[in-house]
Amino acid sequence: MERQYVRSERAHFMCPNMHFGILVKVNGLYDAAKVGETIDILANAHPFLRSVMGWEQNHSRLFYQVSETSRVALTERESIQTIWQDYSGISKTNWNVFEEGLLKVFLYPDQEDFQILFIAHHILADGRRLLELCCQFTDLYVQGTRPDYAEERLIAEPSDLPLGSELSNVNRLLLVKANSQWKKEKRQVTYDEYAAFAESFVREQPVAHMCRSLGQRDVEAMRILCHEQQISINDLLTARLFLTTKEPKIIMAADIQDKLYCYQQGALGNYASALSLYWKGRERDEIRLAKKVHKQSAVHLADNRKLMLILSCYLNLEGSLIDAAAIAALGCFDSKAARFVGRTMLRYGKGEGISITNLGAIENQNIRAATFIPPASPAAKETFGIVTVNGRMALCCSFYEKSVTAETVREHITKLVNKTFNQEDHHMFTDARSKRVIFVAHCLLNQNSISDGTADYPGVNEAILQTLLKAKVGIVQMPCPELCCLGLDRGNVLGAESPVVVENTRIRKAMQEPEAWAQLSVLTEYVMRQILQYHKHGFEVVGIVGINRSPCCGVNTTSDDNREIEGQGVFIMKLKAALADANLIIPVIGIKADAEAAKRVKALL
């Protein structure tokens, strides 16, 4: 394979938070060895999965150093609840691309299926290429469909861009001046300098994430509306972003693979550009504004000079100058040229931008659900990532907590997915309520419901209750599955005479009898309906609290085979499956009656 250099992707090299992810729920049983084999086959098909970055000192050139074996890092976790710690942990210690591979994978096994989180450094690929890789993984893992070998050929020179991409005279002069100033300054950022800056930046500018989903019925209604109005779903979503954020400019990612001769079908790499869309604030109707967005986008997409502008700039700037842009704009590196590139061209540190990347819609029977977690670019305070799989849309916003509040982001996402922007419920729920709720196991608030011989308190777990009251969060008491399905005596008046795990094992088996199992489905639907309603109207469901060891409500442990084992109770198992089907990521924790319980619940709040 011919050596591939980082040219049009150079801004992703020395810039914080240049990673993004796709969480996929795989329609297949988990097999750790099979996952490893699948990743190895993908690495054989994609040289960049076998790469770290190399450096040509004499020319200050960055290249993909391909090895013979996979450089993908695989990590297995016990619970999906660690996903945000796993994702955020990537940036807390700088991702050293000279020593580490460009893709990290986290695995979250479950009893009937599993979820897999692909986290890519932006030097590896753009969002659409990572989505293609996810599909290749599931197709190979579930069906045995092997991917074709796809050798990467990147944008290396201005001549690789389509005709008409040449810079204007004004832009060319600005870049010549910046390059000249940079050479006069005789400065260069070392990778160690950048790494220290990046870790400091990530500590001082924390990033959070918020996700929502839209079911098949609502997505289909949106599709029909857009078809009737001759606009795209992305036009509509962008218009809603303008209306709800009141921002005059939104950056929209645009796929350009069809315009590039160098692109190889199925290959990794970056084959995307960005458009700046503007709103003057006068138009307030979402459909009329969406039509203006559609027209504005079409003009940009048809004009190669506008569409390829940022890529042309990268190709005409000194690579080492691009490397210094982020640290000069956001840190203490003193360079007039680099500060100009970072602040004026790339808009780092302005704290005002909004960005949207829609990976489009795909159909794949091997994927149950997927969520795209967009990169938290320092050029944007909010970045929205969207993907639609099998008719279900998932939205995720990565945002800087010091630039925008979680409440504001929640409002933006809620309005983004509502059926119409002027829906009456936008003006609802503005009273004293906190709009934060937590779902708890029934017995936490009513020990009288618990099986005979297992109550730890006269009435309620007071430590948990006080923790929730202080947090001013609404408390939703879930039904007790055992009480509703088996009765207060659980169908055994002598239950207290047996060891707890023995009686729990009997209860677990009884809950799986046809009549009880059907009733359990009704209870699950009852809880899910409440969760979905809160979600629909912009409330935050901060978490679900279960009881470990319980045959129904255990989260980390349950009872079976007359002992306490790792696993989930039957109710939690059904509830988590329903959450996954709805493409909702809500923390679910399990506690016991011990001193750590209140601390674990407080961590959710």
Domains of the chain (ranges plus CATH)? Answer: 10-145 (3.30.559.10), 436-604 (no CATH)
Question: In whole angstroms, what is the distance from residue 438 CA to residue 540 CA?
Answer: 8
The residue-averaged pLDDT of 485-492 equals 95
Question: In whole angstroms, what is the distance from residue 490 CA to residue 510 CA?
Answer: 9
The DSSP H or E segment spanning 212 is strand 207-214
- One-letter identity of residue 357: T
Beta carbons within 10 angstroms of residue 375's beta carbon: 26
Among 43, 32, 19, which residue's Cα sits nearest to residue 116? 32
Report helix, strand and coil shares of the chain as percent, to nearest 5. Answer: 45, 20, 35
> Between 431 and 504, where is the model more confident?
504
Name the average pLDDT for the chain.
92
> Between 81 and 38, where is the model more confident?
38
Question: In whole angstroms, what is the distance from residue 526 CA to residue 522 CA?
Answer: 6
pLDDT tens per residue across span 232-289: 999 999 999 999 999 999 999 999 999 998 998 999 999 999 999 999 878 888 999 9
How sure is the predictor about 415, in pLDDT bands with cuts at 50, 70 and 90?
confident
The answer to whether residue 424 scores a pLDDT higher than 50 is no
**Confidence (pLDDT) at 465:** 94
Query: Percentage of the chain surpassing pLDDT 90?
Result: 79
Strands 19-26 and 114-121: antiparallel
604 phi, psi to nearest 5 deg? -70, -25
**Confidence (pLDDT) at 351:** 67
pLDDT tens per residue across span 59-116: 889 999 999 999 999 999 988 888 999 999 988 888 999 999 999 999 999 877 899 9
- One-letter identity of residue 96: N
How sure is the predictor about 213, in pLDDT bands with cuts at 50, 70 and 90?
confident
**Confidence (pLDDT) at 421:** 41
The answer to whether residue 483 scores a pLDDT higher than 60 is yes
**Confidence (pLDDT) at 422:** 41
pLDDT tens per residue across span 531-558: 989 887 778 899 999 999 999 999 999 9
The answer to whether residue 1 scores a pLDDT higher than 90 is no
Dihedral of alpha carbons 260, 264, 268, 269, sign: negative
**Confidence (pLDDT) at 513:** 95
The answer to whether residue 427 scores a pLDDT higher than 60 is no
What is the phi-psi region of residue 351: left when phi exceeds 0, alpha when psi lies from -120 to 50, beta otherwise?
left
**Confidence (pLDDT) at 175:** 96
Dihedral of alpha carbons 188, 191, 195, 196, sign: negative
Dihedral of alpha carbons 287, 242, 278, 294, sign: negative
**Confidence (pLDDT) at 215:** 82
CB 478 within 8 A of CB 440: yes
The residue-averaged pLDDT of 294-316 equals 95
The answer to whether residue 169 scores a pLDDT higher than 60 is yes
The answer to whether residue 380 scores a pLDDT higher than 90 is yes
